[in-house]
């Protein structure tokens, strides 16, 4: 289980939870791109990034979905998001840990920034882009993850078919986006089985093969040894 922070408080909580277990529970620390109102606490995040149970930096990235309608305010928000994104890429480069990316309606800008500045690999969490955008991530050596949305939204079928099994992850994004048949409920980690089952059915592969591949992908990407 990997718990993902979205600000300094939840990042600290994720690390504290991981510390309670010898193995099997890990943390990702970072600042979500929509949380740009206050100053970015660089040194605090840098210290968290160095923790041995922290396996990636994020959620970080760009999110243009809820930008202010006023053009001047919108432009300032984009600048702030990019500055904080760059700061977290620098932390990831320094710690030599991958990026957990949150990108919404901003794939082009985010990919340009990553290509120029990232010296580590990354995963585009809850990927909802096009096949062309998926190819750009894969060309960078990045991975893509899919959530319970693939169990009820038909537009993801072509994407799941396209992305090679060894470059994808399954995730819950809990407590959001509960998969079928749990729609309307709080999403839980145990529901991940619905996502892996749907990937297997879309790719027409045995479930055991898909589960084994996804676990291997996660261990390799995050540098986790479960032995």
pLDDT tens digits, 112-170: 999 999 999 999 999 999 999 999 999 999 999 999 999 999 999 999 999 999 999 99
Which domains, ranges and CATH numbers included, belong to the chain? 2-222 (3.20.20.140)
> In a 10 Å sphere around its CB, with 0-12 CB exposed, 13-18 middle and 19+ buried, how is residue 55 labelled?
buried
The helix/strand/coil state of 141 is: coil
C-alpha distances (whole Å) from 60 to each of 85, 102, 103, 130, 204 are 6, 6, 8, 20, 33
d(CA 61, CA 103): 6
Written as six digits, the tokens of 28 are 């990702």
The per-residue pLDDT for range 42-82, each reduced to its tens digit, is 999 999 999 999 999 999 999 999 999 999 999 999 999 99
Contact 106, 61 (CB under 8 A): yes
Long-range contacts for 7-13 (Cβ within 8 Å, ≥24 apart)?
Answer: 7/31, 7/32, 7/35, 8/41, 8/44, 8/45, 11/45, 11/48, 12/48
DSSP 62-104: EE-TT--SSHHHHHHHHHHHHHHHHHHHHHHHHHT--EEEEEE
pLDDT of residue 110 exceeding 90, the answer is yes
Nearest to 134 by CA among 88, 167, 98, 171: 167
219: pLDDT strictly greater than 90: yes
The set of residues, in sequence order, having a beta carbon less than 8 Å from that of 203 and lying 6+ positions away, is 160, 161, 165, 210
């Amino acid at each position: 289980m990997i718990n993902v922070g979205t600000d300094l408080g939840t990042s600290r909580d994720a690390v504290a939870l991981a510390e309670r277990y010898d193995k099997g529970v890990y943390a990702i620390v970072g600042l979500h791109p929509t949380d740009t109102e206050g100053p970015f606490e660089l040194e605090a995040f840098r210290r968290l990034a160095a923790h041995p149970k922290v396996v990636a930096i994020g959620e970080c990235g760009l999110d243009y979905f809820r930008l202010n309608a006023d053009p001047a305010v919108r432009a300032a928000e984009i600048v702030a998001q990019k500055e904080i994104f760059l700061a977290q890429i620098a932390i990831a480069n320094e710690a030599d840990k991958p990026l957990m990316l949150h990108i919404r309606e901003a794939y082009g800008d985010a990919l340009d920034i990553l290509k120029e500045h990232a010296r580590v690999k990354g995963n585009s969490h809850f990927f909802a882009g096009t096949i062309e955008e998926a190819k750009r991530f894969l060309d960078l050596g990045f991975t893509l993850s899919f959530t319970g949305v693939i169990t009820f939204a038909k537009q993801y079928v072509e994407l799941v078919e396209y992305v090679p099994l060894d470059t994808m992850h399954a995730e819950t994004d809990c407590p959001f986006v509960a998969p079928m048949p749990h729609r309307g409920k709080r999403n839980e980690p145990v529901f991940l089985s619905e996502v892996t089952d749907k990937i297997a059915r879309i790719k027409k592969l045995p479930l055991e093969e898909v589960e084994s591949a996804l676990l291997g992908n996660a261990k390799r990407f995050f540098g986790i040894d479960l032995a």
